[in-house]
Amino acid sequence: MKRHLSLALATIFLASGAWLGAQGKYARDPKQSMDEEYTKKIREYTTEPFFGSPLVDYLPASKTVPTPKAVLGDVAGAPGILPYTAKVHEYMRMLEKASPRVKVFSIGKSEEGREMIAVAIADAPLIAKLDENRARLAKLADPRTITLDDAEADRLVAASVPIYYITGTIHSPETGAPTALMELAYRLAVDEALYIKAIRSSVITLITPVVEVDGRDRQVDIYNWHLAHPKENWPQLPYWGKYVVHDNNRDAMGLTLNLSRNVLNAFVEQKAQVLHDLHESVPYLYDNTVGDGPYNAWVDPILTDEWQLLGWNNMSELTKFGMPGAFTHGTFDTWSPGYLMSIAAMHNGISRLYETFGNAGADTVERTLSPRDYARTWFKQNPPLPKTKWSQRNNNNYEQTGLLTALSYFGANSKMFLKNFYLKAKRSVLKATTEGPAAYVLSGDDPRPGVQAELLRVLQRQGCEISKATAPFTVTLPAKKKARPGVSTTADAAGHGGSDVQAAEQKEANKEEPETRQFPAGSYLVRMDQPYSRIADALLDYQYWSPNDPQKFPYDDTGWTFGELFGVQVVRVTDVKVLAVPMDKVAGEVKAPGGVNGAGSLFAVNHDADPSLIALRYRLKEASFEAAEEPFEAAGRKFNRGSFLIKNVDATSLQSAASELGLRVYALGSAPTVKTHGVKTPRIAYVHSWLGTQDEGWWRMEFDLLKVPYDYISTQVVAKDANLHAKYEVIVFPPVGRPTQAVVAGMPMWGNPLPWKTTELTPNIGKIDSTDDMRPGLGWSGLANLESFVRRGGVLITTDDTSDLAVTFGLAPGVSIQRAQRLKAPGTAVRTKLVDGASPIAYGFGESSAVYTSNGPIFGLSNSVMGGRGGRFGPEDRERATGRGTPDDPDQPQGRPAVEIPEEPRAEPWQAMPVTAEQLRNGITIIPPKQRPRVVLRYADQKDLLVSGLLEGGTEIAQRPAVIDAPLEKGHVILFSNNPIWRGETQGSYFLVFNAILNFDNLDAGRKVDER
């Protein structure tokens, strides 16, 4: 049956003449000779004629320009061939040498030092005058330079050629793009077909053939290993880039990775109009930017129209070639601006993304699809085949056919798209006075100057201009609406970061009159009358995703409000008078002022949860640091609980560290009378699982940036080392992103070992960590070793799924986890409340902080190891039974006198129920008071819980513990329900982890023990 279908399709196709045809606008130039041998191979490797098109079923010959075969030894997309990054770049440079139509730029390096490039292709005169063209585009990109003069813009548009930027293989197992882009570059440089000539003269095509250069080389290693071991299973890639796996395509907000910064800089500096990112996962070509709602709320509607124009036209062309499975509507939403392509959407360009169908390597194999993929739907009338033989060449055909038809359409409408580029930039400048806000203001007296500076640096990396007020000023803030019952007003409350002022300002927010607010000189302004206002607005504003949204499966995070997650106050100002405040544009990077004030032998640094504080501690390893257990005043200043007191330190080292790290240090005449404890530099083991390094990578990157040293060990090392306590004081076990059982069990042990090691065949892997066999997991011995580590005094820090692991396997007596029934918080910013400010883990944190969670575990607490709160917790337990009287009255059995009813024990949802006299009669299961879990932060009440994003069923997690310090004999297990370190977007919560590390031997400081 299935074979019939495929044959029938082929027949219809051939009969229709589309495949044989090659006529019409995409006809090749009959006068140009073909590279016969190359063409023959293309046809041989294309498994069905309809998996190709008249655009790519031949290769034009050139006497001077080498084809991809020069470096590949075969055609692009040939079976068994995946080129390393260097080979791809070598070929692009050969093209540059051979053709005046090609120019190669270096756009920066990866974390491991590999080069990234961009290749420009257009007519030779255009390539020769790239700089002049770019100078014109720069004026369109910043309409302030032409005083928003539309007539001048029209003249510039008429004289300019737009840039269409294509990026390949950011996702390492999506392997097809580099060869497709090599061949595309050749075609664009050599082919004399009329439509190609038109592209060359009307568009500058810019190509980065490999975005994740480090991951590409590892992927090629693994593929070569697979070729050398044809009968064996091969290892999945546990590492792509140095730090981040699949989420390297979720970094366009935080811009923490070199690849994101390099592509952003290339896009912004070249003044490109389109960023088109190539991915492989969906059969056979999903042009996903049209996708589905909700669209990002901050993009210009002109852009969303451009998505429709380009997407539907593009797929329509493939439909006309008879290529099955080309479609543009689908489930992908364009809400989050974190994808690589979002760089374009947020910088007045056009974001695009293809998902084509790859085989994760260059094997030609039979692929069977799921019904969901081959179903004919309204948006996919010619769906993919249920089962077919699929080759890398097919994939290359789809990628190139899609891109060539897109370039052709874009080139034919280049003036319209250039004009749109100008209009979007102009509307971004006008935004301050049209839709608003006029500006965001970050106060000069923010209690967290270091994190504030880091937030502003993120905006600077995004290309935003930052200004600094030279005098105090006052703005009018709009009247706040009263909260509707059960609905948080926080999202309307115009950006008050998670600090102590939050609660007070929330009360203020319930007033109805407009209020004014004063800001001191030195306050920062992010003006919205600048060309890249949209990215600043998207990052600093609040997000609201309705639980009733028709889209039930958010593709990624739903909330990210940077001011909240950085714990920095950000005020959205719609009062346009703010634009007239005297201010200077900040030249160079924003830096928090740092250095030593005064001289002496004792110094104090305020604890404001600035991540630089841990850098300071490790940098001055030999000095003596103490933490104050209570707030104090000294040198005329207030210092928070946890502030450092530093002695025995070399003044010069302290001065240079403080100024580099942006920390203000104060010399004290005498020691304050406050209880302190030592802050040492513990030896840290940092644990990863071979099952996945995705989420831990974000943590590891921050540890490296702050120069916090650690031993990077796998769960396999934990399994073998029964004496971890002798080597480490702290074990950090970040989220694995896999179920608890899998972390323990590892991968199935059948089949062959899966090595991850540096060898001659695989020179690029096994450097970050290595193993002879990735399959074994933590195992029972690993659990036992972790338990013994903690019992002997170690501190184990766990988050999300690793917290689940600690609870499940009894490392956190008294803590239980309830399974969510209705909770939906898929990457949401939520509010937490301080429960125990005396806990060292809370040092530097105020009464209320926003944190990031992605359906984190719902913790319950009990003073008994038998639990008691977990599943059966609920108000119904405490309600009276049916009987006489009102709900508040006692019942009265008839025919006997009334008796006194003992007071029911009561506890808040974040607390354990007090121990009863009944339980203490024989208290075998009652946890001794000092060993009971201590809640540091809890989730806010339901009405205040949501900060940004989607939150449904929030009652399940409202008021529950968020951060718990669970003692186990001499040690502690620290449990996070939120993820404190995420994508460089949650700087405000990093120090919850760092406090646990720095106070590892004094976590019980300030603890109040209640016998019941």
Tell me which residues touch Zn ion (CB under 5 A): 171, 174, 279
Which is nearest to 637 in space by CA: 445, 842, 847, 836? 445
Strand partners, 265: none
How far apart CA 540 and CA 524 sit, in angstroms, is 14
Nearer to Zn ion, 57 or 247 (CB): 247
Nearer to Zn ion, 275 or 974 (CB): 275
Nearer to Zn ion, 174 or 575 (CB): 174
Nearer to Zn ion, 167 or 502 (CB): 167
Which is nearest to 78 in space by CA: 38, 48, 29, 121? 38
* Residue spans of alpha helices (H) in 602-748: 612-619, 651-661, 694-705, 715-720, 724-727, 740-745
Least gap, CB of 554 to Zn ion (angstroms)? 17
Least gap, CB of 685 to Zn ion (angstroms)? 32
Identity of the amino acid at 19: W
Least gap, CB of 877 to Zn ion (angstroms)? 48
771: DSSP letter: B
Determine what percent of the chain falls in helix, strand and coil, rounding each to the nearest 5.
35, 20, 45
User: Distances in Å between the alpha carbon of 286 and those of 328, 407, 498, 556, 683?
Assistant: 6, 17, 40, 18, 49
Which is nearest to 996 in space by CA: 832, 827, 798, 788? 798
Least gap, CB of 241 to Zn ion (angstroms)? 14
By the 10 Å C-beta count (0-12 exposed, 13-18 middle, 19+ buried), 365 is classed as: exposed
Least gap, CB of 257 to Zn ion (angstroms)? 15
Nearer to Zn ion, 357 or 562 (CB): 357
Measured between its terminal Cα atoms, the distance across the chain in Å is 72
Q: What angle do CA 196, 201, 202 make, to 5 degrees?
A: 95
Least gap, CB of 354 to Zn ion (angstroms)? 10
Least gap, CB of 249 to Zn ion (angstroms)? 6
Count other C-beta atoms under 10 Å from residue 674's C-beta: 18
Which three-class secondary structure state does DSSP give residue 964?
strand
Least gap, CB of 215 to Zn ion (angstroms)? 11
576: DSSP letter: G
How far apart CA 265 and CA 23 sit, in angstroms, is 40
How far apart CA 227 and CA 361 sit, in angstroms, is 10
Least gap, CB of 299 to Zn ion (angstroms)? 21
Least gap, CB of 282 to Zn ion (angstroms)? 10
Least gap, CB of 171 to Zn ion (angstroms)? 4
Nearer to Zn ion, 362 or 657 (CB): 362
- Residue 89 and residue 181 in contact, taking contact as beta carbons nearer than 8 Å: no
How far apart CA 718 and CA 967 sit, in angstroms, is 21
- Residue 811 and residue 731 in contact, taking contact as beta carbons nearer than 8 Å: no
Nearer to Zn ion, 340 or 491 (CB): 340
Least gap, CB of 174 to Zn ion (angstroms)? 5
Nearer to Zn ion, 341 or 432 (CB): 341
Nearer to Zn ion, 170 or 717 (CB): 170
Nearer to Zn ion, 174 or 300 (CB): 174
Nearer to Zn ion, 279 or 527 (CB): 279
How far apart CA 264 and CA 275 sit, in angstroms, is 10
Q: What angle do CA 276, 277, 283 make, to 5 degrees?
A: 110
Which is nearest to 288 in space by CA: 400, 205, 379? 379
Nearer to Zn ion, 341 or 1003 (CB): 341
User: 414-430 and 301-320 are packed helices; what angle lies between their axes, rounded to 10 degrees?
Assistant: 160
How far apart CA 723 and CA 785 sit, in angstroms, is 7
Nearer to Zn ion, 245 or 303 (CB): 245
- Residue 441 and residue 523 in contact, taking contact as beta carbons nearer than 8 Å: yes
Least gap, CB of 556 to Zn ion (angstroms)? 12
Nearer to Zn ion, 278 or 469 (CB): 278
Strand partners, 440: 526, 572
Least gap, CB of 163 to Zn ion (angstroms)? 23
Least gap, CB of 281 to Zn ion (angstroms)? 6
Least gap, CB of 829 to Zn ion (angstroms)? 25
User: Distances in Å between the alpha carbon of 718 and those of 697, 784, 800?
Assistant: 19, 9, 19
Strands 684-688 and 730-733: parallel
Nearer to Zn ion, 171 or 932 (CB): 171
Nearer to Zn ion, 341 or 442 (CB): 341
Nearer to Zn ion, 279 or 983 (CB): 279
631: left (phi over 0), alpha (psi -120 to 50) or beta: beta
By the 10 Å C-beta count (0-12 exposed, 13-18 middle, 19+ buried), 758 is classed as: middle
1007: DSSP letter: P
How distant is the alpha carbon of residue 958 from its chain centre?
25
How far apart CA 997 and CA 975 sit, in angstroms, is 13
Strands 684-688 and 676-678: unpaired
Nearer to Zn ion, 286 or 994 (CB): 286
- Residue 700 and residue 257 in contact, taking contact as beta carbons nearer than 8 Å: no
Least gap, CB of 439 to Zn ion (angstroms)? 36
Least gap, CB of 259 to Zn ion (angstroms)? 13
Element (H, E) at 816: strand 815-818
988: DSSP letter: G
- Tokens 């330190």 belong to 649
